Structure 1
Amino acid sequence: MNQSLVHSLLRAVGLVVFGLLLLSPVLVQWPAQDLVPYLQWKLIAAVWFYMLVLSLFRSFWPGLLLLLPAALLVPQEVFYLLTYQKSTDAHAMAIVAETDLNEALGYLTGIGLFLALAVVAIVLLWWYLLRSAWQGRWQWEKGLRPVIWLICIGVAASLSWNEWQYQQINKAKQRSNPEENVFVQRPLPYSYEKFHATYPLNMLIALNEFVKQKQAVADVAESTALFKFSARQTDAPAQRQIYVLVIGETLRPDRLQLNGYNRATTPRLSGTKNLISYTNMVSPWAWTRMSVPVILSRKSATDQRYFPTETSVVAAFKEAGFSTAWLSTQSPLGVHDSSIALHASEADQVQYLNPVGYKKEGFYDDILLPAFERVLQQNQQKQLIVVHTLGSHFSYADRYPPAFDLFTPSGKGQSISMHDQSSSLLLNNAYDNSVAYTDFILFNLIKQLEQTDSISSLFYVSDHGENIFDGQCNKSGHGHNTERDYRVAALLWTSELYNLQYPQKKSYAEQRREQPLMTSNVFHSLLDLAGIEYPDQKLTKSWVSPQWRPSSRILQQGLDFDLAKRDPVCAELTP
């Protein structure tokens, strides 16, 4: 075999390998069913995208040059797909951009060397092909490039027509609810719906979405930047102070063993000293994006606006001289998270620790424990730490490791619909397992606080409740306007030093354990708990104050929670 033929074969093999490499993020998604959509919107779309890039020039080498970024990102994308069963999206890009890489990208631990070697191999292959294309003057055959362009123009025209129809539908939805979230008002384009899992189109789409969402959040943040509470801690103790707010997810108070539930869902907290469980706490909203801002700020329970008009408890603590940190396993951007992320950005340090958010299993909440410890080890004299957990967010079985699969069968490892009533047993078991895991997380956070020997407290509150086919009720999830949507778990732990420093506040906290409370009281009570004052402070809303007074618990739609009627099956609320 002559040398020229060998070089020709090597180049042919190199091109095939390079092509398979570029297509590998799509190939690893080969479907068990629904082959036609996969071929149409993933495989064929990816092939045509690469051909379009290569056909931009008569010579091959400029196209190969443009494809280098896509080739270099292939190992990361394949790893992400195989590990988390989803493509890179705006959330993943925000994780990289929003927080410390050593912590946020911990999911790459152990494969760094593999990725480095893969990148080196890709660069060598790409360089060989680029040099061959340059030296060999590789060019397209006449007439082929216009054919590729015509096909791409046809696809673009079809997408544009569907995009126009898609936007008309969404404009009608926007007119019906002008106060809705800006990210709902600006729906993702039709191309996102079709190509969100098509590499490398998903990377371009995700980058565009990340930039737009960041800009939308920045625009709102600018409007609240000048707001001040004029908060101060007038009688600061000499000892170190640490206040912790843990925002839970979908946790019902009636599923806590320490509230009388007949399962061991809180074996650790049930034996924890100085722990108070508030058994009559209500959230006015059954949606995270609206309920969490009510916890964090002075936002009215009936305020329908998505974005805040003033800053949160985080900013108030900062004004009073506290170092602030926000640790989260939820998402930094998106329809459900952007209003919360605005308040998170008020903190001195922000860490988003879950690479996939709530849609997949991802990391469990225990990733928060070492991050929490690192913040404590900074040994600041005055600290506020907000911990935002995934808690019992559906899919419940995705929220805890195998060691906490205590109540079985739970369906862990299976795909189970929350709307299938025949899965009620699995859903309830998995939910209780997630509660037991939250017990483990909170217990360990408290243990870490105890070791600091500080004036400290930890307040936990869930954002909303949940329906899980209770009794004869056919409802699951939240947003059904039932009593279970609004009742939330809430716990307060205080250290021995706190109880010595503020015995009256501790006493009032104990007295109000069964009183009718609302998450809109949290802002006022946390600041009062820390002895922080500000000019228009309303201590009638702080349950650790002697001035506290019960008030009507008005929900999102204007219903009084306590006066509303309940239907006998699902406890749905009506006037």
Structure 2
Amino acid sequence: MKQYIPAWLTQVDQWMARPCSARLAVAWLSVYFLVAANWTLWGALAHLGGPPSVYLRLVAAMAVLVGFGTLALLSLTAWSRWMKPVWFVLLLVAAVAQHYMLTYRVVMDPTMAANAMQTDLHETRDLLGPRMLLNVLLVMALPTWWLLRVRILPMRLWGQLWRNALLLVAALAVVAGGAAAMSRDLAPLMRNNTTLRYMMNPLAIVYSSGAVFIKPLFKRSGKLIPISGGAALGASYAAQIKPPLFVMVVGETARSDHFALNGYARDTTPQLAARDVLSWRNVHSCGTNTLASVPCMFSHLGKQGYEGRKDDYESLLDVAQAAGLAVLWIDNQAGCKGVCVRVPNVSAGDGLDPAVKSALCDGDECLDDVMLKNIDQRIAALPADRRSKGVLLVLHQMGSHGPAYYKRSNSNSKRFLPECKTNVLADCSHGELINAYDNSIAHTDQFLAHTIDWLKTQSPKFDTGMLYMSDHGESLGEFGLFLHGLPYDFAPEVQKHVPMVAWFDAGLLAREKLSTRCLQGNRDAALTHDNLYHTLLGVMDVRTPTYKPQLDAFAHCRGAAG
């Protein structure tokens, strides 16, 4: 068999099998990372504009920082052949990260790292595909061959220790000296293009992953601070004829500017329009990903307080439950991010008839319609004494979660064709991508309309209403960006501008003394996720010390004429 192996390939294999020290090994790895795993960074620098003499100087400066920064990091692993698995894993993670940075224009900041760690298998499955395998293999093939063949020379512990320390100090000195010498170029570059720091591969991954685990240890005590003390039902419950049933729909990845209700040119929301809903057009999210936004939405602290908190706090759902209401969270997503852990909660697909599940689900991933199945039985299973007072039901959508937007709608919702039918967005035209996304919004329109129709059937027994608000928006190619999760301060508007839609039956409007004319006149009020906690407590008439009427979006329309 050997006679068929080319001579040059044998020579390469022999070179790779040559023994070397652990420090030389990490030096070679640093060079490889610099060249093979930082295409996103080099591309971003080249697209900053200006003549080659400008951006090539920036590339050289960044190459010094990234190369020697990576060497400093890897010097901590320069010990023995037992470090090979560590090097392999770091190469694999860097290759995967580069694929997603190139494909979806995301960056590896702490928010994205936390988002990746919080996702589940069926969400991850949408991101996999042949292109990912090819991109990873292109990065991994050569160093994997080398790691399998190279022999790392052994050395006594003390000798290895001081040599590694010297390598670390020398690498850091080059980074510091290079940054100082080239500060005239680097300082404005990094200040005006802050995303570049999260493209440095694998430094950004290690930093961001470490931040996810380490920063909370310093920021929060781990204690749960109760806020439900003093929670009680308001005056409307004293003489109620029917209890309230209110549905809070937590949307996913919906952009306000793609709702026809808010002026979008395409009719993506015909069914909601036919049901006389109220739609607010100037609403912004707490974060740019589910992990950041959903807990913040249900917190009494608001965005600034939530992000700067030292402790964890009970949520809106804890307060509603403490007041005596029946609370239920139905999830069609990758969990409630800790919001629902102390109240009844269920996964939407649990306990469904197999025929229903096969019609609405693809494996573990289901269309949002699944949340309306068995909903009467789920509510009936809640404690009767609480149901007799009122019910707060939260539906957590799959919504428009990308990149597989085409999976988020059924045949009845696919009104815009042709649509992108792959999770590799670069393989689709921009028009096909927009069609797939708009179809997902059309399906949310259909789901919300069906939710309203179900609530109408409950009106003989309950005073009913619904509020829909998305957790964050989405980039669809603007500025070359896709998906979501960019750091909030420099995320584009489309990742933060979200829809908010409400519907009330006559009974709930009368109960809350809400004026629809007043609410309609307030559709352009500047609102954020900070308002949700107080608005829901106001709608449910829950009295608690943490309620702030000035943040209740509906407060000034109670008792107004019309």
User: TM-score per shorter chain, which class?
Assistant: 0.5 to 0.7
Q: Report whether the alignment pairs 1:341 with 2:347.
A: no
Change (3 A) 1:446 1:285: same
Change (3 A) 1:468 1:165: closer
Tell me the amino acid that sits aligned with residue 318 of structure 2. A
Structure 1 contact 416–423 (Cα < 8 Å) conserved: no
Q: CA deviation at 1:505?
A: 6.0
Which runs of structure 2 are paired with 1:123-138 in the superposition (5 Å)?
none
Which runs of structure 2 are paired with 1:372-387 in the superposition (5 Å)?
372-378=375-381, 380-381=387-388, 382-387=390-395
Partner of 1:251: 254
Partner of 1:262: 265
Moved more, 282-291 or 381-390: 282-291
Cα deviations across residues 113-155 of structure 1 (Å, max 9, x unaligned)? xxxxxxxxxxxxxxxxxxxxxxxxxxxxxxxxxxxxxxxxx99
Q: CA deviation at 1:325?
A: 0.6
d(CA) in 1 for partners of 2:508, 2:81:
66
Structure 1 contact 360–398 (Cα < 8 Å) conserved: no
Tell me the amino acid that sits aligned with residue 397 of structure 1. Y
Q: Report whether the alignment pairs 1:537 with 2:539.
A: no
Q: CA deviation at 1:435?
A: 0.7
Q: CA deviation at 1:228?
A: 2.6
Partner of 1:436: 442
Structure 1 contact 221–342 (Cα < 8 Å) conserved: no
Q: How many residues align?
A: 353
Tell me the amino acid that sits aligned with residue 295 of structure 1. M
Moved more, 289-298 or 256-265: 256-265
Of 300, 303, 307, the match for 1:301 = 303
Q: CA deviation at 1:318?
A: 0.3
Q: CA deviation at 1:351?
A: 2.6
Structure 1 contact 224–311 (Cα < 8 Å) conserved: yes
Partner of 2:329: 326
Of 279, 289, 293, the match for 1:291 = 293
Change (3 A) 1:229 1:247: farther
d(CA) in 2 for partners of 1:543, 1:443:
22
Q: Report whether the alignment pairs 1:401 with 2:407.
A: no
C-alpha RMSD of the superposition: 4.3
Structure 1 contact 508–543 (Cα < 8 Å) conserved: no
Cα deviations across residues 249-270 of structure 1 (Å, max 9, x unaligned)? 1111221222232322111111
d(CA) in 2 for partners of 1:305, 1:155:
43
Change (3 A) 1:312 1:507: farther
d(CA) in 1 for partners of 2:557, 2:273:
30
Q: CA deviation at 1:511?
A: 3.4
d(CA) in 2 for partners of 1:428, 1:179:
26
Partner of 1:31: none
Q: CA deviation at 1:510?
A: 3.2
Tell me the amino acid that sits aligned with residue 504 of structure 2. T
d(CA) in 2 for partners of 1:186, 1:258:
32
Structure 2 contact 283–499 (Cα < 8 Å) conserved: yes
Partner of 1:317: 320
Partner of 1:362: 365
User: Any unmatched runs of 5+ in structure 2?
Assistant: 1-79, 96-107, 121-127, 130-212, 351-356
Cα deviations across residues 506-542 of structure 1 (Å, max 9, x unaligned)? 5553332111111110111110111111124211111
SS in 1 for 2:429: helix
d(CA) in 1 for partners of 2:440, 2:527:
25
User: Any unmatched runs of 5+ in structure 1?
Assistant: 1-153, 170-175, 189-195, 198-212, 333-339, 549-575
Change (3 A) 1:534 1:185: same
Q: Report whether the alignment pairs 1:452 with 2:458.
A: yes
Moved more, 372-381 or 402-411: 372-381
Structure 2 contact 286–297 (Cα < 8 Å) conserved: no
SS in 2 for 1:301: helix
Structure 1 contact 277–491 (Cα < 8 Å) conserved: yes
Q: Report whether the alignment pairs 1:521 with 2:527.
A: no
Partner of 1:15: none
Which runs of structure 2 are paired with 1:87-126 in the superposition (5 Å)?
none
Identity in percent: 23
TM-score by length of 2: 0.55
Tell me the amino acid that sits aligned with residue 232 of structure 1. A
d(CA) in 2 for partners of 1:292, 1:158:
40
Q: CA deviation at 1:157?
A: 7.3
Of 424, 432, 447, the match for 1:426 = 432
Structure 1 contact 506–544 (Cα < 8 Å) conserved: no
SS in 1 for 2:419: coil
Partner of 2:424: 417
Q: Report whether the alignment pairs 1:485 with 2:411.
A: no
